[in-house]
Amino acid sequence: MAVGARATLDARKLRADFPILQQEINGKPLAYLDSAVTSQKPRQVLDAMTSFYETSYGNVHRGVYGLAERATEAFEGARDRIVRFVNAPSSRELIFTRNATESLNLVAYAYGLATFGPGDVVIVTELEHHSNFVPWQYVAKRTGASFRMIRLTETGELDLDGLDEIAGDGNIKLVATNLVSNALGTVNPVEKLTAWAHEQGAVMVVDAAQAAPHRAIDVQALDCDFLAFSAHKMCGPSGVGALWGRRELLEAMEPFNLGGHMIRKVQFEETTWGDLPHKFEAGTSPIAEAVGFGAAVDYLNEVGLDAIEQYEHDLVAYALERLVDVPGIKLYGPAPEKRAGIVSFNMEGIHPHDVAQVLDWEGVAIRAGHHCCQPLMAKLGVAATNRASFYLYTLPEEIDRLADGLLRARKVFG
């Protein structure tokens, strides 16, 4: 197949970095095709965290002793690398959170709840993960703002033609979208949407949880105002994520969590807040996880984001070509050139749970469910889909095994 010839990374070689992939499930080599839900971790990330715990662990920004200094240096060093990873102008603008969901909630509570009111409009898309849908729906309801949704075309792309109509007569305050859809793999035209949002005087929030692992991110080129992502989807540990925000917005915002570390001065009468980014990092941070996040970013840079994007593009094109011949399959989402390494589908007469179960017998792990995208499922008229998702360690023959497994499912269910 074409993947080998055009690939700019060597997935077979990279797999040696991932200890978890060297195992069998039900007597078959594990084919992990669920990286969109969470990625596996390379030895380099695991080693960085273990070594940090073994040699340099302490709390950060507190002690004056040597170990605390080393821990702080490692933690802030990780932040600096993540800042460069998304080409943010300053390390003060990059806040460590628990995950992308918390990053988005931070913006919803600390910005939305304080800013929106009756007559304002908050816009999301039909393609959002619940994490970039529910907080806005909730905050709109709490503030009396109206909540609108950009619909999808039949091919699973955002229908931007209706933007002005969606906006209505209200005062558009915020537009929230993902850069890459976790359910369909659609790569959304964020630059275009951002330009429109800014014309309306609105703030642009981008959920990059599904994009940051797979393509180069440049917040200055995107020109958005907030961008959220999670380490665990990009070869890093669970428990840490990041929010990048435009400095003037972050400075104007009230804190989200209150407590230790985020303060400047606490008195009975009044408390003042610390500088960015500390104002938004109350309590002890996920320290070793942040160090692992930094190591993950190093790993992705080493492999090359452009190479990853190209490789996954080849994989998804191959998968679509391979799967289209499976009897009774219905594939969702746009053409390969408009999507990342995600393929959502249904098998006629076989529920996704049952498909995933039969694939597990073959050692093939895929996701079956609503992918935290119930509005999208409603649009597709289904309760759930199957989803296979790829990463830098995915092999073309794993896609072949997926296709063969689907034939077995067809056989079991007749």
Partner 1 sequence: MEDLYREVILDHYKNPRGHGVIEDADAAAEGMNPLCGDEVAIYVEFGEDGETIDEVKFSGRGCAISQAATSMLMEMVKGRTATEVGELSKDELLEEIGIPLTPIRLKCALLGLGVLKVALHRSKGTPLPDEWAGLDDQFKVS
Largest CA distance in the chain: 73
Taking the alpha carbons of 103, 106, 111, 112 in that order, is the dihedral positive or negative? positive
Contact 341/233 with Cβ under 8 angstroms?
Answer: no
377 is a site residue for partner 1 (CB under 8 A): yes
Active site residue 224: no
Per CB under 8 A, 381 contacts partner 1: no
CA dihedral over 251, 137, 159, 387, signed as positive or negative = positive
Residue with smaller CB distance to partner 1, 201 or 327: 327
Among 384, 388, 392, 399, binds partner 1 (CB under 8 A): 384
Question: Is residue 330 at the binding interface for partner 1, with CB under 8 A as the rule?
Answer: no
Strand order of the β-sheet with 342-347 is 329-332, 342-347, 385-389, 367-369
**Alpha-helical runs (H) found in 279-325:** 287-303, 305-323
Q: Is 407 in the site for partner 1 (CB under 8 A)?
A: no
CB-nearer residue toward partner 1: 377 or 403: 377
Q: Which of 348, 383, 397, 407 binds partner 1 (CB under 8 A)?
A: 383
Contact 228, 93 (CB under 8 A): no
179 makes contact with partner 1 (CB under 8 A): no
Cα angle: 172, vertex 173, 178; to 5 degrees = 100
For the CB of residue 239, give the shortest distance to partner 1 in the complex, in Å.
22
> Contacting partner 1 (CB under 8 A), which of 369, 379, 400, 404?
369
Secondary structure E strands in 193-318: 203-207, 226-230, 241-245, 263-266, 271-273
Distances (CA, A) of 258 to 114, 205, 272, 326: 16, 23, 11, 54
374 contributes a contact to partner 1 by CB under 8 A: yes
Find tokens 């908050």 and name the residue. Answer: 122
Among residues 22 and 26, whose Cβ is nearest to partner 1?
Answer: 26
User: Which among 228, 192, 225 is positioned nearest to 210, based on CA atoms?
Assistant: 228
Of 354, 400, 403, 404, the one binding partner 1 by CB under 8 A: 354
CB of 369 to partner 1, least distance (A): 5
| For partner 1, the closer CB: 34 or 314 | 34
User: Which among 389, 349, 387 is positioned nearest to 370, based on CA atoms?
Assistant: 387
Site membership for partner 1, residue 348 (CB under 8 A): no
Q: Among 351, 379, 395, 400, which residue interacts with partner 1 (rule: CB under 8 A)? A: 351
Among 138, 147, 273, 361, binds partner 1 (CB under 8 A): 361
d(CA 237, CA 42): 10
Nearest-Å Rg of the Cα atoms of the chain is 22
Q: How far is the CB of 29 from partner 1 (least distance, A)?
A: 17
What SS3 class is residue 218?
Answer: coil
Q: Report, in Å, the least distance between residue 412 CB and partner 1.
A: 5
d(CA 40, CA 38): 7
Ramachandran sector of residue 57 (left: φ over 0; alpha: ψ -120 to 50; beta: rest): beta
By beta-carbon proximity to partner 1, the closer residue of 92 and 370 is 370
Span near partner 1 by CB under 8 A; candidates 139-147, 202-210, 285-293, 376-384: 376-384
Using the minimum distance from each CB to partner 1, give the nearer residue, 227 or 372: 372
Q: How far is the CB of 202 from partner 1 (least distance, A)?
A: 31
Establish if 141 lies at the interface with partner 1 (CB under 8 A). no
**Residues 23 to 82 in contact with partner 1, rule: CB under 8 A:** 26
Give the interface with partner 1 as residue ranges (CB under 8 A): 26, 350-354, 357-358, 361, 368-370, 374, 377, 383-384, 412-414
Residues taking part in catalysis: 372
